[in-house]
Structure 1
Amino acid sequence: MAEAGTILNGHRTERDGGRPLPSVLIATRHGESVANVEFRRADESGALSVPITSRDADIPLTMHGQTQAQALGRWWAELPPADRPRAVWCSPYVRTVETARIALAQASGLGAVPVGLPVRHDERLRDRELGVLEMLTRAAIEKEHPAEAARRRRMGELYYRPPGGESWLDVALRVRSVLRDLSEEEAGRPVLVVAHDCTVLMLRHVLDRLTEPQLMALEPVGNCSASLWRAADGRLRADGWNATGHLPG
């Protein structure tokens, strides 16, 4: 029988069938981005386009998003010492990189974590790829790709894969892969994951073993929200979901 725990690199680990686990896993979505604002406006007005010309990967935070990232850093600094992340895994997209950098600077400035704590950028944490629907508003999808819009409604978001893009379950496969590496490399210590709404949602799906109805009933993942899982009884168990009380109004 596998041990319930062991010492690895000076850290106490929990084990699930012999696999080490981080002591705490905290996941956050990036702060408000320029695209979040523009697509919200487009959905409200029925616009066919948004004034964005960059790649999705290059979209930055808004000023409000930067403020949210600072608030996330202060929340980080106020956690009990044993829960304060000592490693950061981050999507390589600009908006997530900015969020991690600002939050880390805030937490470091408050003495909560060492200055210069490394950030690992992992492409498996990137946002869902939408293929031919990339950067299209809801109105534009209905007008330019009516067959795809109908197929999306029929199949549901969990299974729908746009041409050249990914379904939610495709993202879940990436998440399972990164969780295996993260658990091995960060065994026994708290970790912060900075990613995107779909990525964080698929973390919940994988770790909490949610069914499709349970998943679809969840509220949207908030910008700079905090979701936390704790190693207990051989697995990571939820101890908080999508909390936003630390953010400015």
Structure 2
Amino acid sequence: MTAGPVAPPVRRLLVWRHGRTEWNATGRFQGQLDPPLDDEGRAQAARTAPFLAAALRNEDTVLVSSDLQRAVDTAQALAPLLGAPLRIDERLREHGLGSWEGLTRDEVAERHPDQYEQWVSGQPVPGRGGEAQADVAARALAAVADLPPASTAVLVTHGGTAGRLLEALLGLGSEHRRVFGPLGNCHWSELSFQASGWRLMRHNLSVPAAGPQEGGRRPAGDRGPFPGPSASDVPDAPRSGATPEEAPPAPVEDADAAG
């Protein structure tokens, strides 16, 4: 008989993207630069944290954040509500984008047209420097492997790193990139470890803008402890919190994130 996958230290993961920054709102590549949350990003974290804390009330939960401040500040909205210490792991930080960091999509297209065309066509972009996608996935997987034993872990991370981690956990190769869309700001995905390995249970969830449903009822279609997907399962609009990866032409561009 073939042995099944090795059980991880946690059986459930919530991969939570940080709240919005001004650079998200203006479509500027962040990478490993560290702009802070803007007012909307702080409000997103404040709305989402109580929702997650209520859902995790009876769980043995570990909370781990990227070391970049936008992720730390998002995680700090949740830590006191969980009553759990906040762990910092630099392996959850964003995909390093080299010379593109700090530039808008239009600036990249103007200054580095060949690299931009590689990116739009879904090819690797070695000329910009930064990190290879496989290296981002490897360090994020290592962070998961090193988690302390718990029933659930909340990983507060970034758009690009979240995408690479989800792909790696689900065993998706490069030919399956963009099977699912990127996380919006302060959205999260839930994965469960089962006999066959990791399974994506819910993706790109967010707290309803109007708050919890009247009477505590879940949105239609939700069959678990977390709210259903946002209405369109699409991240924030390009001018309102999305990263350059989330703006058109999304069907063909690489998913190296700026968030």
1:85 Cα offset (Å)? 5.8
1:46-65 correspondence runs (5 A)? 56-65=32-41
Return closer, same or farther for 1:208/1:130 CA change in 2, 3 Å cut-off: same
**What corresponds to 1:78 in structure 2?**
54
Are residues 1:243 and 2:210 paired?
Answer: no
Contact kept in structure 2, 1:21 and 1:235, CA below 8 Å: no
Which residue of the partner structure matches residue 9 of structure 1?
none
- The alignment status of 1:173 with 2:141, answered yes or no, reads no
Amino acid at match of 1:163: R
Residue 87 of structure 1 contacts residue 191 of structure 1 at CA under 8 Å; is this kept in 2?
yes
Note closer, same or farther for the CA distance 1:198–1:220 as it changes in structure 2 (3 Å cut). Answer: same
**In the superposition, relative to structure 1, how do residues 20 and 136 fare at CA in structure 2: closer, same or farther (>3 Å)?**
closer
Q: SS of the counterpart of 1:210? A: coil
List aligned pairs for 1:15-164, cutoff 5 A. 16-17=5-6, 19-39=7-27, 56-79=32-55, 81-82=57-58, 84=59, 86-105=61-80, 108=81, 113-114=82-83, 117-154=84-121, 156=122, 159-164=124-129
The CA deviation string for residues 103-124 of structure 1, in whole angstroms up to 9 with x for no partner, is 324xx2xxxx22xx21111111
* Compared CA separation, residues 206 and 95, structure 1 to 2 (3 A): same
Secondary structure at 2:203's aligned position in 1? coil
Measure how far apart 1:149 and its partner are.
1.7
Q: Distance in 1 between matches of 2:173 and 2:131?
A: 19
Q: Report the Cα distance in structure 1 between the residues aligned to 2:193 and 2:179, rounded to whole angstroms.
A: 25
CA contact (8 A) 2:53 2:78 kept: no
Gapped regions of structure 1 (runs ≥ 5): 4-14, 41-49
* TM-score when normalising by structure 1: 0.74
Which amino acid in structure 2 is aligned with residue 36 of structure 1? N
In 1, Cα distance between equivalents of 2:172 and 2:132: 16
Q: Is the 8 A contact 2:79 2:85 kept in 1?
A: no
Instruction: Give the deviation of 1:206 after TM superposition.
Output: 1.0
Partner-residue secondary structure (3-state), 1:172:
helix
Q: Closer, same or farther in 2 for the Cα pair 1:102/1:220, shift >3 Å?
A: same
Deviation at 1:145, TM superposition (A): 1.3
Q: CA 1:248/1:162 → structure 2, altered by over 3 Å: closer, same or farther?
A: farther
Change in CA separation of 1:136 and 1:57 when aligned onto 2, cut-off 3 Å: closer
Q: Cα distance, 1:219 vs. partner? A: 1.9
In 2, the alpha carbon distance for the partners of 1:85 and 1:243 equals 21
**Any idea what SS the aligned residue of 2:154 has?**
strand
Count of residue pairs brought into register by the alignment: 211
Which one of the candidate residues 162, 181, 206 is aligned to 1:200? 162
Structure 1 residues 73 and 38 mapped into 2: Cα distance closer, same or farther (>3 Å)? Answer: same
Q: TM-score, normalised by structure 2?
A: 0.71
Q: 2:17, 2:158 within 8 Å by CA — same for their partners in 1?
A: yes
Answer yes or no: is the 8 Å Cα contact 1:57–1:94 preserved in 2.
Answer: no
Q: Does the 8 A contact of 1:133 with 1:162 survive in 2?
A: no
SS of residue paired to 1:135? coil
Structure 2 counterpart of 1:212, from 165, 174, 177: 174
Tell me if the contact between 1:71 and 1:246 (Cα under 8 Å) persists in the aligned partners. no
